[in-house]
Each structure stands twice: as C-alpha cells, then as structure tokens.
Structure 1
Amino acid sequence: MNLQTWFDRHDWNATQRAINATTPQQVEQALARSRRTLDDFKALISPAAQAYLEPMARMSQQLTQKRFGRTIQLYAPLYLSNECQNICTYCAFSLDNKIQRRTLTDDEIRREADWVRQLGYEHILLVTGEASQTVGVPYLKKAIRLLRDYFAQVSMEVQPLDQPEYETLIAEGLNTVLVYQETYHEATYRQHHPKGKKSNFRYRLDTPDRLGRAGIHRIGLGALLGLEDWRTDSFFTAAHLQYLERTYWRTRYSISFPRLRPIDLAENETISVKIFDQCMSDRDLVQLICAYRLFNEEVELSLSTRETPRFRDHVLKLGITSLSAGSKTNPGGYVVEPQSLEQFAISDERSPGDMADVIRRQGYEPVWKDWDKTFLHV
C-alpha cells in the first residue's frame, strides 16, 4: 500500500465523528488490550477518555520505563537562518513579516556550535526557514560538515527535499530529519500556507517516504497543535506513523507536540505580538502523550521549550523520552546575535544544567547524545 492509498482510506469528518462518539466502554476495552490498534488510539484521544487519565498516565509511565529505562535525552536547536520564501500564518519567519533576515556564516556557525557544545550537548538540531536559494542543499551540506566535528549526532528541521538531496546529506552525517505536516486537513493546510513551495500539501505529505527510501536513521513527525482539531490531526499522525513503520521498518521514529505559541510581528520597526487561540489545554496534551505511548511502545516522544517549566516537570515521567533545554529560536541566538527576532516565543527558559538537575531529582538520567547511535552498525 502506498501513501496515496493510505491517505485516501481515512476521511477527516468521519474520523472526527467517530472520535467524539467514543463511549466509556470503548475506552476501557482499549486500555485492557496489550496491543492496540488505530481504533483503540481513537478511543484513547477521545473526550470520553479524559475520565481515565490517571490509569492512562500510570500505564504510559510503566511502558516508557520498560522500553527506555529512566533516561531523558537532551538536545538543542541551532537556528542557521530566518530567511523564508513561504507565507505561513503562524510563523514569525513568514515572507510577509518584514523582519531583518539573517543567515549564519561558517564562522558564526562555529561560534554558535562551540557555545552549545560547551553546554554539554552532543546532539544538535539544525533549523532554518524554507529558502532553497539561500539555505539549500549546498549550504546544509557545508553546515553538517562543520558541525559533525562538534556533535555526535546532527539532526535537521528544514524545507522538504528530494530523495537524492537527502541521500547527499545522509552521506555527510545527517542522522535525523523532523518534518511536521502542520495539519492533515488539506483545506485548512492551504488556508495557512497560501504562498511558496510549502503550499504544496502533497509534496510535504510525501516527504517521510522520500526520507525512508533515502535510508535516514530517524524521522520525526507531528502536527502543529492548534491549527485544526487536535484529536483528528493526532489520529492522522498516528496513522501516518503506522504506515511508515510498516513500509520503512529499518527507520526509527519520533513524535513531537508543538503547540502554537505567540509570535512577533514586525511592521515599520514596531513589534507587535500575534496570540493564537489556545485550542488545546494542558490536560489535553497529557492525554495525547499517554495515548501515543499506549499505542506505540517504541516511538520516541519529544517535548520542546514551547511548554512551561511546570508542565514539563509534571509530564517528564509520563512518556517523554527527549527534551530541549536552553533553546534559542533565532539565528545566532546563543552568542552571535541574541536580539534577532525569534521564530516563536520560548516558555521554558531554564538552562540545560538546570533541566538536567530537574531530571535527576525525579530519579531519571539526562542523556546528552543519541542512546542508540552505537547500535547503528551492528
């Protein structure tokens, strides 16, 4: 079964109705099973499952410890550029936001990398806007070459590429690619991406397939929580994950939970802030984290500094396997140009050292590099 066949099997409105019509009995049946289906996942993310959050959290914690032990991987994003050719309604890097554009030079990349490495990190996530002429494959190839001397693992979250381009970067040492679909509702997707290459819904949807065929070690998935109904988007993310695991079984997978955050809008040197309606509560997000873990014991679950310190501390044990800390979401944000405009507002501003202490106090071990990298060539 190819992706097109998979995607056409699922109707958004029918899925949404089924989730909202879930009964308590269906939730209990899902919780009683040792291996859970997509229908069980629907039950676990349903409004009816909110009454079962405590047993879900307990089971999620047990399954995570069974598979990953008491470890939390730490990583940091390194923003290389805020140049972008797309218009996206929720992003400060959007082409129509008249901000000062910045792309790091080789020397600036080294300065940022040296700072991040001194913080203890061995895992770096490269982030750029989507500007193929400025930060295309030649730029990314050079950046990976510069950074592989600093870090044991290099990941990236940039514009979707073609399969041969991914193969080129993998040969340079690229380990992981994160590519969020933003929303699986095609009409809503087009509404929020009116201009640029990113407006091509199907090309973006096909990106994990191109990565799988290219032989990437890990693929990160996720929906931007708040653009559409979070429950239905999360079901489609889980279905996409299942399809990919069955098709590219050598590849590992992770799920992230990016909730919409306020962004700065620049207009004639005046900065205003765009606030999005919060469509997902903290309780909802706890439910979703636990539902993913109960659905898939193997998938890695990542939580960024978008979330508050209090929330991150409370969910750390419930299924999360990786956390960012001390993040800067602007190019040069660590040492080169700290005051440049952020992609989105950070909520948890604690240092990596402080976050590591929090992890230890909860009886877990902070891990500063990819725990399974040593098994890549076994």
Structure 2
Amino acid sequence: MKTFKSVFEQYNWDSIQTKIYQTSAREVEQALVKSKRNLDDFLAMISPAAQPYLEEMAQQCHELTKKRFGKTIQMYAPLYLSNECQNICTYCGFSLDNKIKRKTLTDSEIKQEIQVLKNNGFDHVLLVTGEANYSVNINYFLNAIAQIKNDFSIISVEVQPLSQEEYERLHEAGVYSVLVYQETYHQEVYKKYHTKGKKSNFDFRLETPDRIGKAGLHKIGMGVLLGLEDWRTDSFFNALHLDYLQKTYWQTKYSVSFPRLRPAEGIIEPNFIMDDKDLTQLICAYRLWNEDLEISISTRENENFRNNIIPIGTTSMSAGSKTNPGGYVVDPQSLEQFEISDERSAAEIAEIITQKGYEPVWKDWDRTFSSKSKTESHQETSIVN
C-alpha cells in the first residue's frame, strides 16, 4: 500500500532549498492575497523574501485563527515516564551514550505525578518516554494508560515508533493522539544525528504517521527539530508530509509543534540558528496555509515569545512542564531531556492567556474554562513585536 515514502522520493532537498531561497517578493504577495493556499504558497511564505511581510502575515494569521478556533488556548502538560533509551542521537539528553541515571516510573510513582498535574488543573496529559523496547514497550504504555485514563479526558503519547497493531491497541486503550517527529527530512545527514538504534532507520520513522493513520487515531502531531538543518527546507517537507496525511487519512485531525534545539547534557550545539522572528514567520506560514491545523507552543520557548505568540496562531500551550521522569514530585533531580525556558506555573500561564483576552481551556471536548473573565481583547495596531 502507498505510504508517504513514495511522495517523499519525488522531491529533492537541494532543489527545494534552492526554490525557497530564489522566491521573489511578487510570489509572496501573490500567496498573501489568496483565500485558499497550496504548498507552493507555503514555500513562498517561509522564504527570506517573505520577511518584510511578517506584520501583514501576522494580522491575517490572527484573524484566521480567531475565526477557526475562537479565542481559546488548550492547556496540556507532559508527563515523562522514562528516560531509558536504546538510541544514540547526538542532540538528545536521553541518548544511550550519555552516562546518566536512568529512571522508569512505577505504578505508584505515576500516580504521584498524576496527582500533581490534577492539582494544577490539567485534564490533557502528554505521555513521553525514551525509546527502549526492552523496558518501555507497548505493555508498559498500556499499563501506564490504565493508571491514568480515569483522571484525564485527553491522553496523548510521544513514544517510540510502533507497529500499526500496537497503535490500534493504544487507540483501544483510550489514547487520543500520537506525536512523532521526523527530526529532519534531510535523509543524507539523518544518519549523522542518529548513529545507533531503531531510530537510525529513516524510512521506518518516515512511515510512522501512516501506521498511526491506518490505526484510526483521532489526531497526529508532527514537527521537525528546528536547529538540525535549514529550518525552511525541513519545514517544507514537514508540510508536504502533513498535506499527504490530510488527503489520505482525512478523518484524522493534525497538529504541528516547533521544538527548537535546546541545551541538554551531552548534546551538540544547533547546526542552524532560528531566531524568534523566524519562528513567528513559520507559525504564520502554517496557519495561512492550513487554517484547520492545530499549533502547539511548548515551554522550550521563553516567556516573552510565548506571551506574544498567543494572539497570532497558537491553539495549545504546555505550562509548568518538567522534562525528566518523576520531575513533578517523585525525582525532581533526574536528568531532563532538554532545558525548559518558560518556568512559570500553569496558573501563571492561564492568567497571562486571560490577560490577552483569551480563554485557557482545560478540557478540549466540553470547553471547561479556568479563566475568571471572558473580556474581549482590544485590537492592537501591531501584532509582531
């Protein structure tokens, strides 16, 4: 059966990169006046030629997001279950060759972490682990889900790529969405970053969203690790992947995240630097290209950026996050996968969202809000700071 690989093989990294950097201002202007945009328009909007149009893009993005999603931001929290991993990846604190204390939460420890998240108001949890088949496998995931499914309305997972049958079992167990990142679509250098373990198999990872789609999961989360390769070219291929998935598994919802390479013990420095205006441009391009796409901003980003991006295109945000197993209460000193930048509590983030005239949503399906007021925000003359 056809998978994204057959589409991916029709494109060439260098050719796409050249096309992006040769885009003209006229092509950007043509993309911005359209009511419905395609991948060529997305390419134009992520190009250097689009930078002078960022304010216009942000204004359009603000209106489009408000029309499609209203003035709401869904709140979620990651729950790191394990830092055990069999892969060697040069950018990750969980890498097998990083001599750290390994920890996998037990049932009782999971319950302790859950209690903290519930006390903070969360009803959407993202379960995260390293990739260790011998210990953190489908049986561990199903057991963990059984421990928490009565406490959360929405359960998402970000774990190792699985088989279609295993994704079907997760779906049956109550998992709502699966996040999987290709990290980089630059196939020739992928091996340089992933030197050992199952993750070194580029094609197996590339076809993972197909297996998730065939398993019937409600939502698939996508993204690339911004900083490994040229962000513009990588993001085009991620959009290409999303475009294929939406056409193939049209009943599934989709989201995109923007993990910028952050400091962590024993990892490389970013190969490509992406500044805040670059990331704002990318977020705007995704929204203007695809108004149904959910856009998630994590605590990897700093306070100022997260505050300012709320009215532009964001639909979900994490808050008070810990990126180490047991980080909320069980073992606060265990190694983080990466350093977070925004360390504010969930209550503080919710208050900022409210001050912006938006509503922090703790439940996706019944729109239960934590905010105290629903004050409409004033239209600002400039959205980009």
TM-score, normalised on structure 2? 0.94
User: Helix, strand or coil: the match of 2:126?
Assistant: strand
Map of 2:346 onto structure 1: 352
Amino acid at match of 2:309: V
* Counterpart contact for 1:218–1:251, Cα < 8 Å: yes
Amino acid at match of 1:118: N
- Kindly report which structure 2 residues correspond to 1:1-378, keeping only aligned pairs within 5 A, or say none: 2-265=3-266, 275-276=269-270, 279-371=273-365
User: Helix, strand or coil: the match of 1:174?
Assistant: coil
* Counterpart contact for 1:30–1:44, Cα < 8 Å: yes
* Counterpart contact for 2:128–2:159, Cα < 8 Å: yes
Measure the CA separation in 2 of the matches of 1:73 and 1:188: 35
Q: CA deviation at 1:169?
A: 1.1
Measure the CA separation in 1 of the matches of 2:313 and 2:94: 31
- CA change 1:362–1:373 in 2 (3 A) is closer
* Counterpart contact for 1:88–1:192, Cα < 8 Å: yes
Measure the CA separation in 1 of the matches of 2:206 and 2:367: 27
User: Helix, strand or coil: the match of 2:89?
Assistant: coil
* Counterpart contact for 1:262–1:276, Cα < 8 Å: no
Measure the CA separation in 2 of the matches of 1:120 and 1:372: 15
* Counterpart contact for 1:264–1:274, Cα < 8 Å: no
Measure the CA separation in 1 of the matches of 2:185 and 2:292: 23
Q: CA deviation at 1:277?
A: 5.0
Measure the CA separation in 1 of the matches of 2:160 and 2:139: 13
User: Helix, strand or coil: the match of 1:244?
Assistant: helix
RMSD: 1.3
The alignment-based identity, stated in percent, is 60
* Counterpart contact for 1:263–1:275, Cα < 8 Å: no
- CA change 1:351–1:322 in 2 (3 A) is same
Measure the CA separation in 2 of the matches of 1:373 and 1:212: 26
Amino acid at match of 1:210: R
Q: CA deviation at 1:3?
A: 1.7
User: Helix, strand or coil: the match of 1:249?
Assistant: coil
Amino acid at match of 2:47: S
Measure the CA separation in 1 of the matches of 2:47 and 2:288: 14
Q: CA deviation at 1:188?
A: 1.6
Q: List per-residue Cα deviations over 1:162-218 (Å, max 9, x = no partner).
A: 000011111110110000000001112111001000000000000000000000000
Amino acid at match of 1:345: E
Map of 2:376 onto structure 1: none
Map of 1:269 onto structure 2: none
Q: List per-residue Cα deviations over 1:131-164 (Å, max 9, x = no partner).
A: 0110100000000111101101110000000000
Measure the CA separation in 2 of the matches of 1:89 and 1:21: 32
Q: List per-residue Cα deviations over 1:47-105 (Å, max 9, x = no partner).
A: 00000000000000000000000000010000000000000000000000000000000
Amino acid at match of 2:89: C
Q: CA deviation at 1:372?
A: 7.3
Q: List per-residue Cα deviations over 1:16-48 (Å, max 9, x = no partner).
A: 000000000000000011110111011000000
Amino acid at match of 1:285: L
Measure the CA separation in 2 of the matches of 1:44 and 1:132: 40
Measure the CA separation in 2 of the matches of 1:300 and 1:231: 19
Amino acid at match of 1:313: N
Q: CA deviation at 1:274?
A: 5.4
Amino acid at match of 1:327: S
* Counterpart contact for 1:81–1:103, Cα < 8 Å: yes
User: Helix, strand or coil: the match of 1:4?
Assistant: helix
Map of 1:270 onto structure 2: none
Map of 1:268 onto structure 2: none
Q: CA deviation at 1:4?
A: 2.5
Q: CA deviation at 1:234?
A: 0.3
Measure the CA separation in 2 of the matches of 1:69 and 1:59: 14
User: Helix, strand or coil: the match of 2:196?
Assistant: coil
User: Helix, strand or coil: the match of 2:338?
Assistant: coil
Measure the CA separation in 1 of the matches of 2:89 and 2:5: 25
Q: After the TM superposition, which of the residue ranges 63-72 and 278-287 deviates more from structure 2? A: 278-287
Measure the CA separation in 2 of the matches of 1:346 and 1:203: 29
Q: List per-residue Cα deviations over 1:220-252 (Å, max 9, x = no partner).
A: 000000100000000001110000000000100
